[in-house]
């Protein structure tokens, strides 16, 4: 019996590639395995950097990518970043990453990596760099994914905490966020659910959030209903006619904090031939939220509270 059990354990170990004592987390449905916590990591984008900062991982971060090329940082972000270098203002190259010899790159599909592009888990693996993939982005390569929920945030913070061996910090953060979220949902539970449309800037075809993007779950948590929920994607494009036909009552406008930010986007909608006729535009019902508030990250919970207050005219 003992021999049978040992053989079965060995077979399972060979199948997963993980030995007892390894650190293993899910990575888009596949195991991501480390034999020890990474000592040096590179993080892409504001939202994933915020996750790492929330876990106090600054001493492990040897570089950031994809920050200043798109976004205006806050004094708080800059203070937490300190002297951590930015290796590339937008998408990194393999050379950018290899130069600092990280053990892990934390990024996602269209969050620092593109399918078939230069930087992917497969192109980094020969250099000893493992890639933790943002769960929201997994749908780009695997269409058999669950619809968005706030677990996209909670699970990724727990995964990062597990890999970096700071599970206790991750558990405290996630527990607190769940309590805050429950309080927000209780406030709006018995209120009407306005039709909500999220827009990522003026364009010929609107770029917005479908059923696999975290804003879909955020809008629901704030007590609204996403008019593009039926889009079978995470972030993607639809048509102005489709959005106008849904007649949104409230708008969430992505604010890149350049020019007049979300105000410029709202003015674009006021002058648009079909969107100008929608209830949300006529009644000037909208809120501007930053990129890191609308992509999986610690800022999501406060953003949900802001949405709920603006949507329902309730106190936070």
Q: What is the pLDDT of residues 11-62, one digit of tens each?
A: 444 444 444 469 999 999 999 999 999 999 999 999 999 999 999 999 999 9
Q: What is the pLDDT of residue 316?
A: 52
- Whether the pLDDT of residue 134 is over 80: the answer is yes
Name the band, by pLDDT with cuts 50, 70 and 90, for residue 1.
very low
Dist. CA 3–CA 10, nearest whole Å: 11
Dist. CA 266–CA 245, nearest whole Å: 18
Q: What is the pLDDT of residue 82?
A: 97
Angle between helical axes of 151-163 and 46-54 (0-180°, round to 10): 60
Q: What is the pLDDT of residues 77-130, one digit of tens each?
A: 999 999 999 999 999 999 999 999 999 999 999 999 999 999 999 999 999 999
- Whether the pLDDT of residue 159 is over 90: the answer is yes
Tokens of 47: 């939202």
Neighbour-count burial of 166, counting CB atoms closer than 10 A to its CB (0-12 exposed, 13-18 middle, 19+ buried):
middle
Dist. CA 186–CA 266, nearest whole Å: 30
CB atoms within 10 A of CB 67: 22
Q: What mean pLDDT is predicted for residues 266-288?
A: 97
Question: How far is CA 144 from each of CA 120, 214, 233, rounded to the nearest angstrom?
Answer: 21, 16, 11
> Which domains, from first to last, does the chain contain?
18-145 (3.40.50.1980), 189-312 (3.40.50.1980)
Q: What is the pLDDT of residue 72?
A: 83
Could you give the 3-state DSSP secondary structure of residue 250? strand
pTM of the entire predicted model: 0.91
Pairing of strands 130-133, 104-109: parallel
């Amino acid at each position: 019996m003992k021999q049978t059990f040992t053989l079965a354990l060995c077979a399972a170990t060979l199948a997963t590639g993980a030995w007892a004592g390894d650190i293993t987390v899910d990575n888009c449905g596949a195991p991501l395995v480390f034999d020890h916590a990474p000592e040096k990591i590179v993080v892409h984008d504001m939202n994933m950097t915020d996750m790492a900062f929330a876990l106090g991982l600054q001493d492990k971060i040897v570089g950031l990518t994809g920050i200043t090329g798109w976004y205006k940082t806050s004094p708080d972000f800059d203070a937490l970043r300190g002297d951590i270098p930015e290796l590339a203002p937008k998408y990194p190259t393999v050379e950018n990453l290899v130069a600092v010899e990280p053990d892990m790159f934390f990024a996602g599909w269209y969050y620092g990596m593109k399918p078939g592009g230069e930087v992917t888990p497969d192109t980094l693996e020969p250099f000893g760099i493992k890639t933790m993939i943002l769960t929201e982005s997994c749908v780009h390569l695997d269409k058999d994914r669950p619809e968005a929920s706030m677990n996209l945030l909670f699970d990724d913070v727990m995964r990062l905490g597990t890999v970096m061996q700071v599970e206790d910090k991750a558990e405290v953060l996630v527990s607190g966020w769940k309590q805050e979220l429950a309080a927000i949902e209780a406030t709006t539970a018995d209120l009407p659910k306005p039709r909500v449309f999220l827009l990522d800037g003026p364009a010929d075809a609107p770029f917005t959030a479908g059923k696999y993007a975290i804003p879909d779950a955020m809008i629901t948590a704030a007590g609204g209903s996403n008019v593009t929920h039926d889009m079978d994607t995470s972030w993607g494009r639809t048509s102005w006619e489709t959005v106008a036909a849904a007649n949104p009552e409230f708008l969430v406008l992505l604010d890149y904090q350049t020019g007049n930010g979300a105000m410029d986007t709202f003015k674009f909608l006021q002058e648009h031939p079909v969107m100008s006729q929608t209830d949300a535009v006529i009644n000037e019902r909208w809120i501007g939220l930053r990129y890191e508030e609308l992509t999986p990250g610690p800022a999501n919970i406060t953003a949900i509270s802001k949405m709920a207050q603006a949507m329902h005219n309730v106190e936070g």
